[in-house]
Amino acid sequence: MPTTLAVPTDNCPLTNRGPSTSEIWQPTAGTSWQIVLQSAITTSSSTADVSVYDIDLFDNTKATINALHSQDRKVICYFSAGTYEDWRDDAADFQERDLGSPLDEWEGERWVDLSSERIRAIMTARLDLAVEKGCDGVDPDNVDAYDNEQGGIGMTEENTIDFVNWLADEAHNRGLAIGLKNAGAVISSVIGNMQWSVNEECADYNECDVYRVFLDEDKPVFHIEYPKGEEVNDKVDVGEAERKAVCEGYDEAARFSTLIKNMDLDVWWQDC
């Protein structure tokens, strides 16, 4: 069993340092970060010298989040807002009529109907859990079914815009910051409600310019690229040519908060 993150002792009592309901946390462009979603954060997996950790909402405890706060780090809590995952604690709350097609290569996961009141009730309960655990903000994933041929639930850009803005209002009402995950096509309709962008592989897809508007508003683009070579299996630094393409190969590179990560988003990382 992994050791848990060191938690302050009675001489340094735990405090909930999450956001207040009167002020939403707004990081600035270029803020350093780490993302670990494969498993709960432990003492050995929380050693990155960064300002922000993006971690799984369900897998991590309030004590873990308090411990990260005691190290002067902000905590973003990840959950999937646009899919059903059959292993989650609240999986039984989903109803079949709200579920679409399975996601390719992600066993046990299916798209959901973002306009469903039942789905929205589940997501507000997740926001309540984020508040209970002391998260500073949330990273709601998979809101871009409109751009996926396997969506199978009839989602459109308009569905996503309505859902993302609704979710942002619910988050802000609870004192939580929130970011947009990918979904570049809807940025102009939601950016006013977003505190950051989390983007996967814009360098690989030649679309990093789409996310420049976040930088223009001094909001971070938390950017992930996944290595293409065998080195990903060995968890060693990528080659210089690939690093340059990821870290220097587009106009926005100098201001992005870029990480090179394995697809399973474990503790391994390489920054620029």
The pLDDT tens digits for 36-45 are 999 999 887 7
Q: What is the per-residue pLDDT for 15?
A: 35
pLDDT of residue 221: 98
User: In the chain, what are the domain boundaries?
Assistant: 38-271
Q: Which residues pair with 76 in a beta bridge?
A: 54, 137
Q: What's the confidence (pLDDT) of residue 239?
A: 86
> Which of the residues in the chain have pLDDT under 50?
1-21
Q: Could you give the C-alpha distances from 91 to 79, 85, 109, in angstroms and in order?
A: 13, 7, 10
Question: How many Å separate Cα 132 from the centre of its chain?
Answer: 18
**Both tokens of residue 231?**
């080195």
Please report the pLDDT score of residue 45 as a whole number: 75
State the Cα–Cα distance between residues 6 and 3, nearest whole angstrom.
9
Tell me the pLDDT tens digit for each residue of 109-154. 999 999 999 999 999 999 999 999 999 999 999 999 998 765 668 8
What is the pLDDT at residue 151?
A: 62
Amino acid (one-letter) located at 206: N
- The domain covering 38-271 belongs, at the CATH homologous superfamily level, to Aldolase class I (3.20.20.70)
**Spatial distance between the Cα atoms of 56 and 50, rounded to a whole number of angstroms:** 17
